[in-house]
Amino acid sequence: MKTAKNLSKSFRSNFVLCCIFLIISFYGCSENSTSPQTEKPQLSFPEFFVEKGNDNDTSYISLRGIKISEDSLKIEAVSWGVIEYGLHLMSNKSETEFEYVLMGECGTTLTTTYKKVTLYDWITAEESENLLRISFSNYKDTVEVIKEVTH
């Protein structure tokens, strides 16, 4: 049978163990620890906007890069196209160049309706690290952005 004196010793030893555990936990998780910290990559391609042609007719084409966050760039490609062809944005991405092309399905349609469309893509910080050129082409023209590299 445990006496009050034995219970008191047991309580004290459990209390001491809990305190040691809390101290180790606190110092093990502090920001001053020596474990390696991984930083989130930052965008290296700046915001941009380029356009050509008349905004009111089928000659218009534009390309815009909008910084959404520290690690994401939204690409906005605007052009006129024949909507009956089912327009979409095709991309060809390499380490240093991203090429976007306004595409539609081939075939014959009964009507030809031109409409200004806006299509989107996103570029991550990792993708932008070595990226030097972004271009967008439609059936008539091309616009491009070249990143200025300083040493």
8-15 mean pLDDT: 60
pLDDT tens-place string over residues 120-151: 999 999 999 999 999 999 989 999 999 987 66
Q: Alpha-carbon distance 120 to 82, whole Å?
A: 18
Please state the pTM of the whole predicted model: 0.70
The dihedrals phi and psi of 132, each to the nearest 5 degrees, come to -115, -25
Bigger pLDDT: 34 or 44? 44
* SS3 readout for 112-138: CCEEEEEEEEEEEHHHHCCCCEEEEEC
The reported pLDDT for the residue numbered 10 is: 60
For residue 30 the two structure tokens come to: 């502090």
> Rounded to whole angstroms, what are the CA distances from 54 to 58, 119, 125?
8, 19, 33
Summarize pLDDT for 55-95 with one digit per residue, the tens: 888 999 999 999 999 999 999 999 999 999 889 999 999 99
Residue 109: predicted pLDDT: 82
Where do the DSSP E strands lie in the chain? 48-52, 61-69, 72-82, 88-93, 97-103, 114-124, 133-137, 142-146
